[in-house]
Amino acid sequence: MNETERELQILQDNYQEENIVTLEWQEHIRRRPGMYIGKLGDGSSSDDGIYVLLKEVLDNSIDEYMMGFGKTIEITIENHMVTVRDHGRGVPLGKVKDVCSKMNTGAKYDSKAFKKSVGLNGVGIKAVNALSSDFYMESSRDGLSKTVQFRQGIELSESEIGPSANSNGTKVGFIPDDEIFGEYHYRDEHIEPLLKNYVFLNTGLTIVFNGKKFSSKNGLEDLLNENLTSEQLYPIIHLFGEDIEVAITHTTQYGEEYYSFVNGQHTTQGGTHLTAFREATARVIKEFYNRNFEYSDIRNGMVAAISIKVEEPVFESQTKTKLGSKEMEPNGTSVNKYINDFLKKELDNFLHKTPDTVEILQKIILDSEKERKAIAGVTKLARERAKKANLHNKKLRDCRIHYNDAKGDDRERTSIFITEGDSASGSITKSRDPNLQAVFSLRGKPLNSFGLTKKIVYENEEFNLLQAALNIEENMDGLRYNKVIIATDADTDGMHIRLLLLTFFLQFFPDLIKKGHVYILQTPLFRVRNKKKTLYCYTEEERVSAIEELSPNPEITRFKGLGEISPDEFRNFIGEDIRLDRVTMRKEDLLKELLEFYMGKNTPERQNFIIDNLVVEDEEVA
């Protein structure tokens, strides 16, 4: 028997009846959490699993409100314990245990009880139970209550149905299991936007989070006002229908920006409803003016939101971030036709009644058309240069798997490092995962693009090649990497390059930042080691702590630049333990004023800011 035959025989022997295993429901969830909540994470990112757990519980309470029961939801988070209390109908007391612990059990299969809900498969609350070290549900109905408790999905206790002074509703408490999530922390900056979206979509609902109240009177109009970071050019167009609400405006920013929802679920990756909305909006506006406008000119600078309610929606994953439904209800009107008919009537009527908005909107479209035609001459040549440069692979060391065609965890892990200099890009290239991590090498400092038109994107070789590498020339749909990571030295030159790149993205591709794709790579400033142990330190405080831990007289190395870190060491910093700071924008970060202050002319105000924030370290200005 040769080697191949022996290996085949071993595989044959290892595949017997005893190898077929049936897992309990909670064990299956704990072994494969990604199937139920997406990625795990430590709470530093808004799509980390601990926020999905919170959302799964909240969705049930929101569905109660949507059915007309309970106007207030209270949430507390303290020492990892999350508590959600609604004032809906309460889970039927005889089914409290089943709702928490029997897969595919829930009321949402019955359209009479929940007509247009988010949670449809009876899975979400079971996933929360299985992935929590402690979990309980208490339901109160008509003066009676019942409580069940679990640990890691295994039942600990079940109370008898007994009298209660509580008002009707359901209370759920859980602690995400650190055996699954490791060290994690809930962060208010990721929770509050989630809660705001809930109240924007459910006017009249109040959510109280650790004592702070969230509510909305104007729905999606409030949502746009909350998220606008550029100058608004005309009042928000706010339209309602039986199962649809839209809000539309234009701003001074480039590109398009959308917020889409289905049954209160934020579909961050869009889906059939958003595709229909984008097409229908542009078509209605084009037909209103009776001009041969390009859709791209109509939508350039558009910021809009759409919310629809669908019976039995089909999402492309358990995390429900992309709608796959083609019909508003089973065997009913198509999503595309419903949205198109609504906008054809309501948006067209609005435009006929508001001449001031019509005049402003036409100027916006014509200005966009004028700029597009002005750069038409350089675009073709620039694209050809970019294609040729990519073919010769001079600046881009690409990866094998890309965001726009990957699935599952691979999609989330795709990234590109933007760095400067041969030594730094060389170290990262030798250390990276070639399947999922690409490297783009800058040549010197990029141009300060503040105040320049988009023509510069094509005329400037660095920017032209960068946008071609990211594949965002037309829109965000072709984005090739989930994380765009700026990797520069932690000195004044590196910080300056970082600012110039952020200025470029903020000017021409703000949605790249708003969608959470842009990050800053944190690399260690010091290495502290002795014969037994090596510690990498990212701050002066960590350096002091490391010296105390490894005393006496450890060797201390100060890294001056990325190029000084060997590829073997770099592997530690861009692997599973990579430290990234996501670049974010807030409502108060008005884009024009922000860039004017930091990247505009050297005003006395900026000079005073620099002087007031000057820090001297190792005889260098840091």
Which pLDDT value is given to residue 105?
53
- The whole-number pLDDT of residue 619 equals 37
Q: Is 185 in the same domain as 286?
A: no
**Same-domain status, 342 and 409:** no
Domain limit, last residue, from 214, 240, 272: 214
Examine the fold and report which residue of 157, 185, 214 is the final residue of a domain before the chain moves on.
214
Decide if 366 contacts 379 (C-beta within 8 A).
no
Residue 109: CATH number of its domain: 3.30.565.10
The token duo for 169 is 């509703």
Q: Are strands 265-266 and 257-262 parallel, antiparallel or unpaired?
A: antiparallel
**Residue 280 belongs to a domain:** yes
Describe the crossing of helices 188-201 and 220-227 by its angle, rounded to 10 degrees. 150
Tens digit of pLDDT for each residue in 29-51?
888 887 888 788 888 888 889 99
pLDDT for the residue numbered 310 = 86
- In the chain, the percentage of residues whose pLDDT exceeds 70 is 84
Query: Beta strands of 206-281 (E only): which ranges?
Result: 206-209, 212-214, 237-240, 244-250, 257-262, 265-266
Q: What is the 3-state secondary structure (H, E, C) of 154-174?
A: EEEEECCCEECCCCCEEEEEE
Question: Which of 54-58, 128-132, 245-249, 442-446 has the weakest average pLDDT?
Answer: 442-446
Cα–Cα distance for residue pair 368/377, rounded to 1 Å: 15
Specify whether 442 is located in the same domain as 338. no
> What pLDDT score does 234 carry?
95
Mean pLDDT lowest among 111-120, 294-303, 490-499: 111-120
Statement to judge: residues 175 and 271 lie in one domain: no
**Pairing mode, if any, of strands 244-250 and 144-151?**
unpaired
Tell me, yes or no, whether 307 lies in a domain: yes
Q: Let me know whether 270 and 403 are in one domain.
A: no
Whether residue 73 contacts residue 58, with contact meaning beta carbons closer than 8 Å, is answered with yes
Residues 352 and 248 grouped into a single domain: yes
| Secondary structure, 3-state, 346-406 | HHHHHHHHCHHHHHHHHHHHHHHHHHHHHHHHHHHHHHHHHHHHHHHCCCEECCCCCCCCC
Q: Residue 12 pLDDT more than 70?
A: no
Rounded CA separation 526/103 (Å): 50
**144 plus 254 within the same structural domain:** no
Say if residue 197 is in the same domain as residue 241: no
On whether residue 567 sits in a domain, the answer given is yes
What's the whole-number mean pLDDT along residues 315-319? 68
Cα–Cα distance measured from residue 128 to residue 176, given in angstroms and rounded to the nearest whole number:
8
Counting residues of the chain whose pLDDT is more than 90, the rounded percentage is 37
Q: Which residues are within 8 A (CB) of 595 and not within 5 positions of it... i.e. 6 or more apart? A: 450, 503, 506, 507
| Residue 343 sits in the same domain as residue 462 | no
Whether residue 582 has pLDDT greater than 60? yes
Task: Match 């510690």 to its residue by tokens.
Answer: 535
Best mean pLDDT range from 3-17, 93-107, 581-595 = 93-107
Is the pLDDT reported for residue 621 higher than 50? Answer: no
Structural domains counted in the chain: 3
Residue 193 sits in the same domain as residue 121:
yes
As beta bridge partners, residue 363 has: none
Q: In this structure, is residue 10 part of a structural domain?
A: no
Q: Which domain does 576 fall in, by range? A: 393-523+559-621
Which run of H or of E encompasses 459? helix 455-459
State how far the alpha carbon of 553 is from the alpha carbons of 530, 532, 546, 547, in Å. Answer: 8, 13, 11, 8
Q: Which of the residue ranges 199-208, 263-272, 400-409, 432-441 would you say has the lowest mean pLDDT?
A: 400-409
Between these two residues, 251 and 16, which has the higher pLDDT value?
Answer: 251
469 falls within a domain: yes
Residue 345 lies in a domain: yes
Given this model, what pLDDT does residue 342 score? Answer: 95
Is 516 in a helix, a strand, or coil?
coil
Given a cut of 60, is residue 432 above it in pLDDT? yes
pLDDT digits (tens, 9 = 90+) for 223-257: 999 888 888 999 999 999 988 999 999 998 888 89
What is residue 491's predicted lDDT score, i.e. its pLDDT?
76
* Spatial separation of the C-alpha atoms in residues 233 and 235, rounded to whole Å: 7
CATH of the domain at 485: 3.40.50.670
In this structure, what DSSP letter does residue 551 have? -
Domain limit, last residue, from 181, 214, 247: 214
